[in-house]
Amino acid sequence: MKILFVASEVSPFAKTGGLADVTGSLPRALRKQRHDVRIIMPLYQCIEDSGFPIKKARKGVEALIGGVLEKGLLRQTTLDDIPVYLIDRKEYFQRPHLYGTPAGDYPDNSRRFGFFCRGVVDLLKRLDFRPDIIHCHDWQTALVPTIIRYEHQDDPFFLKTALIYTIHNLAYQGLFPAEALSELGLDPSYFTIDRLEYYGKVNLMKGGILTADVVNTVSASYCREIRTEEMGCGLDGVLRQRDHDLYGILNGIDYNEWNPATDPALFKNYTASALSGKAAGKKALQKALGLEQRPDIPLLGMITRLSAQKGIDLLEKLLPRFRSSRLQLVILGTGDERYMTMLSAFQKKGADNISIHLAFDQVLARRVYAASDMFLMPSHYEPCGLGQLIALRYGAIPVVRKTGGLADTVFDARDGFREPNGFTFDEYSPKAFWGAVARALEAYGERKSWDRMVRSGMNSDYSWEHSAGEYEAMYEKALKKVR
């Protein structure tokens, strides 16, 4: 199949979260199955700053935005042997962040991603590449299926192309005031309940859900949850309309990229059968962060976007408890200003056993996964979650709230699992969270069974091999609908 990935972030080029991990690793897994895969994304400042080799292409892109024909340039790089097209319009993408600053989203995001999506559709016809599958991700690219479906319905170029839309996080829908319609190059006919109108606003994700041939999200549990009023973020009705075309496919992680045996960022590499490197990495991290260097104190890691979704308010309530307990806690995160302020205020008060880093730091992240005995994800909701999968791979036992993809990947003995790989809790409360942490701390004392759990987590398989097959099957189903 000829498969085009359209995404607003792709690892290693630009990343704010799990979306980039997926759009960086799923194409590679599909490429291994010998599909012709290509990727399109914006050319952000961070990509140029990181020194990736970027070629100029003779072609440009055009998009009618707010009645003005705007032009962009096309650049190209590669991900292994996968061509990556980069849409370059400095005014929109040469900025320090992808979507906004900690204070909030960039005010012209509808224009920026409207230009990107229109640019993608424009570009496809100029490239010598007619995809069988166009696979779009999250609100930033939701306009692609919408405009192909409504503006190109009779266009032979797209007639046999299946449109796939993946929801990585239903809470970020691309909601804009009605006036954004013209900036997106859309006429008023789009502002109806069966298209993009949503309580007086323009909702880009709604358009993606309604117009793609098939829609999926990133775990079976989240796929069930989002059809309920409680967790549907206002789009549960729209999702239920697509019930027959809605799938849940668990994300994987790239086992070459995330491999404690070869990870060059680690102080010391290790494997499930030779864990001494993990202990050495813990000691080195304790030293680097000014924590007491003791192998027997459990080290808890948390690497996260600082947003309400991730249970930061539960963490906040428990910080005094973490401080007074016999454990060490390393927090690495960036995100909402209010949480940054709260954590930096706590940091100033000082706690010998807690180390807080308000940054996006991929090297430190890898060292924390490797050094941690436990990994915390008290998420309010979690579409899939990659943190717990990376933690398992690095021998850190996940302590998570049983929701979405966390419920599908972390198995607790309390639920009768014979081979547990972590600790879970149900109720979204500090008490329940602490209950799971306390059970993990107690289990940590039983070294033999603890090490067994660590090894079995490291040996479990959450690579893309299986899920890439499920994507292929879903693509086939979508193709049947258009052929």
Asked whether position 443 contacts ligand ADP by CB under 6 A, the answer is: no
- Min dist. Cβ of residue 391 to ligand ADP (A): 9
Asked whether position 385 contacts ligand ADP by CB under 6 A, the answer is: yes
Q: Which is nearer to ligand ADP, 119 or 335 (CB)?
A: 335
- Min dist. Cβ of residue 311 to ligand ADP (A): 12
- Min dist. Cβ of residue 43 to ligand ADP (A): 21
Residue with tokens 């990556």: 84
Longest dimension (CA), the chain: 68
- Min dist. Cβ of residue 333 to ligand ADP (A): 5
- Min dist. Cβ of residue 331 to ligand ADP (A): 9
Tell me which residue has its CB nearest to ligand ADP. Answer: 18
Q: Which is nearer to ligand ADP, 238 or 365 (CB)?
A: 365
Angle between helices 430-444 and 447-459 (to 10 degrees): 110
Among 24, 119, 248, 387, contact with ligand ADP (rule: CB under 6 A)? 387
Q: Which stretch binds ligand ADP (CB under 6 A): 15-23, 133-141, 146-154, 442-450?
A: 15-23
- Min dist. Cβ of residue 249 to ligand ADP (A): 14
- Min dist. Cβ of residue 297 to ligand ADP (A): 23
- Min dist. Cβ of residue 451 to ligand ADP (A): 24
x/- contact string, 327-366, with ligand ADP (CB under 6 A)?
-----xxx-------------------------xxx--x-
- Min dist. Cβ of residue 410 to ligand ADP (A): 12
Q: Which is nearer to ligand ADP, 252 or 298 (CB)?
A: 252
User: HSE on the CB side for 477, CA within 13 Å?
Assistant: 16
Asked whether position 17 contacts ligand ADP by CB under 6 A, the answer is: yes
Q: Which is nearer to ligand ADP, 164 or 396 (CB)?
A: 396
Among 3, 8, 18, 282, contact with ligand ADP (rule: CB under 6 A)? 18
Q: Which is nearer to ligand ADP, 191 or 360 (CB)?
A: 360
Asked whether position 301 contacts ligand ADP by CB under 6 A, the answer is: no
Interface with ligand ADP (CB under 6 A), residue total 19
Asked whether position 14 contacts ligand ADP by CB under 6 A, the answer is: no
Cβ-contact 331, 355 below 8 angstroms? yes
Asked whether position 114 contacts ligand ADP by CB under 6 A, the answer is: no
Q: What's the rounded Cα separation, in Å, for the pair 21 and 17? A: 7
Asked whether position 39 contacts ligand ADP by CB under 6 A, the answer is: no
Closest among 418, 375, 380 to 402, alpha carbons compared = 380
Q: Which stretch binds ligand ADP (CB under 6 A): 229-237, 262-270, 382-390, 411-419?
A: 382-390
Q: Which is nearer to ligand ADP, 333 or 378 (CB)?
A: 333
Q: What's the rounded Cα separation, in Å, for the pair 321 and 346? A: 13
Asked whether position 304 contacts ligand ADP by CB under 6 A, the answer is: yes
Q: Which is nearer to ligand ADP, 324 or 362 (CB)?
A: 362
Q: What's the rounded Cα separation, in Å, for the pair 407 and 401? A: 8
Asked whether position 303 contacts ligand ADP by CB under 6 A, the answer is: yes
- Min dist. Cβ of residue 258 to ligand ADP (A): 8
Asked whether position 311 contacts ligand ADP by CB under 6 A, the answer is: no
Q: What's the rounded Cα separation, in Å, for the pair 476 and 104? A: 40
- Min dist. Cβ of residue 131 to ligand ADP (A): 26
Q: What's the rounded Cα separation, in Å, for the pair 214 and 113? A: 22
Asked whether position 386 contacts ligand ADP by CB under 6 A, the answer is: yes
Q: Which stretch binds ligand ADP (CB under 6 A): 105-113, 144-152, 300-308, 445-453?
A: 300-308
Q: Which stretch binds ligand ADP (CB under 6 A): 90-98, 198-206, 302-310, 313-321?
A: 302-310
Q: What's the rounded Cα separation, in Å, for the pair 113 and 92? A: 9
Q: Which is nearer to ligand ADP, 385 or 422 (CB)?
A: 385
- Which residues of this protein are in contact with ligand ADP, per CB under 6 A? 17-19, 21, 303-305, 332-334, 360-362, 365, 384-387, 390
